[in-house]
């Protein structure tokens, strides 16, 4: 992907040149002779690669600033990888170890590049930089709207313990570091035109110790108060949002099972949005005449851009996937055929997405008062529990996991579908398939409150207790695949 993002001409002060020269000597010497602490560092680096791998799916265009010998970049299996480092010894070794990846000897503060990347990573780099904001501003010029900048840096709480360990010769001595807090990093990203999506504390036990290191680094560090003891902080950010232009064609998928009495209202009430609105019905083995009603209404209305498919699989999730696979629009929406979420609210979802405020717009039924029979008491309690659980698991607010109305771009959905095997296909509802996938891609998730109505026709297809047990199973899956990885 081409870009006019070549670095501007910059002038380094004598202090910066001295700072950089000292670090080049340090890292060149380390590469040539790692020393007795290399084994401990290798375990730390392997754990970093596992964490970065959970954030970055294979097959993306990835730039690493401060790539060292290229092991982290190679572990991410990029379709296009570019590594930048100021250590000539590191770049030479990286090229020998990973010949399928491009490595350039350059300073991250200023280098020539005419590409944009899907992910830009900086692992333990900002601690060493002379000017963090300048490097992040360069990263911004190499970003497109969907780029994710992911960086990790040493926690400031470890500054004194680290210095003590160096004096006791327990770890390799370091040059002076920038000990930055998450708040410092967030502010520097903001100044560089990025928006932070989420942050986490990682790795509280950096030494390979069978069973114990796994317990500390996968589980304990994710829990309060132990998260304060993480050695490194991860921050994930995206370019500050801009309105999407031009306006997209919108595809609205309506899964319909036993909803015959609501079909005419869908035609009457669905508004036109963007450059045009495509209406896609997916009928799912109804016991009433839902399919025949849709066919009849399509013949009567002659509404352009209307499609009908008969589901071959089972579950709403299967119906949504069938509808999305046959959609022609660049923006995808789900509208439940029971019309408990008013079709008239869809333009608000459209506006939230097109403004750039969110990349995955999630409807929320639990903010405004509901009509009396809209949701049964235990369903409400369950929904509130799952909203708290998933907010904690995903690191972003998910106020309502099971509201049927969700909106995302076709491009993002295709990425989610391509990485579906990471979580498997145990979700008959489809909501968690999309939420998990959005979290895996680090999409900016935005909750959009709606007023939830009671049904005017038919009965709910949700089976409270059996489906509740399945939801708990999916919470466990999310804990294993997202939180405690």
In a domain, 291, yes or no: yes
381: CATH: 3.90.550.10
Q: Are 222 and 361 found together in one domain?
A: no
| Confidence at residue 91, expressed as pLDDT on a 0 to 100 scale | 97
| pLDDT at site 469 | 72
Domain annotation covers residue 391: yes
Residue with tokens 């982290």: 72
Tell me how far apart the alpha carbons of residues 329 and 331 are, in angstroms, rounded to a whole number.
Answer: 5
Together in a domain, 230 and 88? yes
Of 215, 239, 263, the domain-final residue: 239
**Angle between helices 464-478 and 431-440 in degrees, nearest 10:** 10
Instruction: State CA 457 to chain mean position distance.
Output: 37
Task: Report pLDDT for 42.
Answer: 86
Residue at 1 is within a domain: no
Tell me the CATH number at 21.
3.40.50.150
DSSP letters spanning 6-45: PPPP----HHHHHHHHHHHHHHHHHHH---TTHHHHHHHH
**Residues 59 and 200 occupy one common structural domain:** yes
Residue listed under structure tokens 């099971």: 402
Task: Indicate if 445 and 319 belong to the same structural domain.
Answer: yes
Q: Does residue 342 share a domain with residue 381?
A: yes
Q: Output the CA torsion 337→342→343→349 (10° steps).
A: -120
What sign for the dihedral angle of Cα 394, 396, 402, 405? negative
Taking only the tens of pLDDT, the chain with its 485 residues reads 555 455 555 678 899 999 999 999 999 998 888 776 677 788 899 999 999 999 999 999 999 999 999 999 999 999 999 999 999 999 999 999 999 999 999 999 998 899 999 999 999 999 999 999 999 999 999 999 999 999 999 998 888 887 887 787 777 778 888 989 999 999 999 999 999 999 999 999 888 899 999 999 999 999 989 999 999 999 999 999 988 889 999 999 999 999 999 999 999 999 999 999 999 999 999 999 999 999 999 999 999 999 999 998 888 889 999 999 999 999 999 999 999 899 999 999 999 999 999 999 999 987 777 666 556 655 667 667 777 777 777 788 888 877 889 999 999 999 999 888 776 666 667 778 898 889 889 999 999 998 887 766 656 555 555 656 777 777 777 777 777 77
Owning domain of residue 186: 14-239
Question: Which residues, other chains included, contact 408 with Cβ-Cβ below 8 Å and sequence gap of 6+?
Answer: 331, 332, 353, 359, 360, 361, 416, 434, 438, 443
Q: What is the sign of the dihedral through the CA atoms of 420, 423, 424 and 427? A: negative
User: DSSP assignment, residue 124?
Assistant: S
Contact between 196 and 143 under an 8 Å Cβ cutoff? The reply is no
Instruction: Tell whether 351 is covered by a domain.
Output: yes
Could you tell me if residue 38 is inside a domain? yes
pTM: 0.87
φ, ψ for residue 477, nearest 5 deg: -60, -45
pLDDT for residue 9: 58
Q: Is residue 73 part of a domain?
A: yes
- Collapsing DSSP to helix, strand or coil, 81 comes out as strand
Structural contact between residues 235 and 281, judged by C-beta atoms closer than 8 angstroms: no
Write out the E strands in 384-464: 406-409, 445-449
Asked whether the beta carbons of 121 and 150 are under 8 A apart, the reply is yes
- Same-domain status, 267 and 201: no
Angle value at C-alpha 342, between 338 and 347, nearest 5 degrees = 135
Q: Please report whether residue 3 resides in a domain.
A: no
- From 182, 206, 239, give the residue that closes a domain: 239
Query: Does the residue 2 lie in any domain?
Result: no
pLDDT at 457: 62
Same structural domain for residues 369 and 295?
yes
The candidate with the shortest Cα–Cα distance to 455, out of 362, 343, 337, 349, is 337
So what's the pLDDT on residue 265?
A: 95
**Residue at a domain's end among 239, 270, 291:** 239
> Do 475 and 362 lie in a common domain?
yes
CA torsion angle for 128, 134, 139, 144 (degrees, to 10)?
A: 160
Same domain, 156 and 213: yes
Give yes or no: residues 43 and 186 share one domain: yes
What is the domain count for the chain?
Answer: 2
Tell me: do 282 and 142 sit in the same domain: no
My answer on whether 151 and 216 are in the same domain is yes
């Amino acid at each position: 992907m081409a870009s006019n993002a070549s670095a501007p001409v910059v002038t380094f002060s004598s202090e910066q040149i001295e700072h950089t020269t000292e670090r080049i000597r340090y890292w060149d010497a380390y590469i040539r002779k790692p020393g007795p602490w290399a084994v401990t560092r290798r375990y730390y680096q392997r754990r970093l690669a596992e964490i970065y791998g959970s954030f970055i799916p294979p097959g993306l265009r990835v730039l690493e600033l401060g790539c060292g010998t290229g092991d982290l970049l190679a572990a991410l299996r990029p379709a296009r990888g570019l590594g930048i480092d100021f250590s000539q010894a590191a770049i030479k070794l990286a090229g020998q170890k990973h010949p399928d990846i491009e490595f350039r000897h350059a300073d991250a503060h200023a280098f020539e590049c005419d590409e944009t990347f899907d992910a830009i990573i900086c692992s333990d780099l900002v601690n060493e930089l002379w000017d963090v904001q300048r490097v992040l501003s360069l990263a911004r010029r190499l970003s497109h709207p969907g780029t994710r900048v992911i960086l990790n840096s040493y926690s400031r709480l470890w500054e004194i313990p680290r210095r003590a360990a160096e004096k006791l010769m327990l770890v390799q001595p370091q040059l002076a570091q920038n000990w930055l807090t998450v708040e410092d990093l967030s502010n520097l990203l903001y100044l560089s035109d990025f928006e932070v999506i989420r942050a986490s504390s990682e790795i509280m036990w950096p030494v390979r110790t069978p069973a114990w290191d796994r317990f500390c680094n996968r589980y304990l560090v994710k829990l309060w108060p132990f998260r304060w003891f993480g050695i490194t902080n991860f921050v994930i950010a995206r370019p500050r949002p801009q309105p999407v232009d031009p306006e997209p064609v919108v595809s609205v998928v309506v899964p319909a099972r036993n909803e015959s009495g609501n079909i005419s209202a869908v035609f009457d009430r669905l508004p036109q949005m963007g450059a045009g609105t495509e209406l896609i019905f997916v009928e799912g083995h109804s016991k009433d005449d839902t399919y025949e009603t849709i066919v009849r209404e399509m013949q009567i209305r002659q509404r352009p851009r209307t499609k009908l498919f008969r589901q071959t699989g089972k579950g709403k999730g299967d119906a949504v996937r069938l509808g999305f696979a046959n959609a022609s629009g660049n923006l995808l929406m789900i509208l439940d055929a029971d019309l408990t979420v008013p079709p008239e609210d869809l333009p608000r979802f459209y506006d939230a997405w097109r403004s750039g405020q969110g990349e995955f717009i999630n409807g929320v039924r639990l903010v405004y008062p509901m009509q009396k029979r809209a949701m049964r008491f235990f369903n409400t309690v369950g929904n509130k529990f799952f909203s708290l659980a998933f907010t904690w698991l995903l690191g972003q607010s998910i106020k309502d996991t099971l509201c049927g109305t969700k909106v995302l771009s076709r491009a993002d959905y295709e990425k989610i579908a391509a990485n579906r095997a990471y979580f498997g296909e145990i979700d008959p509802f489809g909501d968690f398939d999309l939420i998990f996938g959005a979290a895996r891609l680090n999409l900016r998730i935005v909750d959009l409150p709606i007023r939830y109505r009671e049904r005017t026709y038919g009965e709910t297809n949700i089976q409270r207790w059996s489906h509740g047990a399945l939801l708990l199973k999916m919470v466990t899956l999310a804990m294993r695949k997202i939180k405690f990885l």
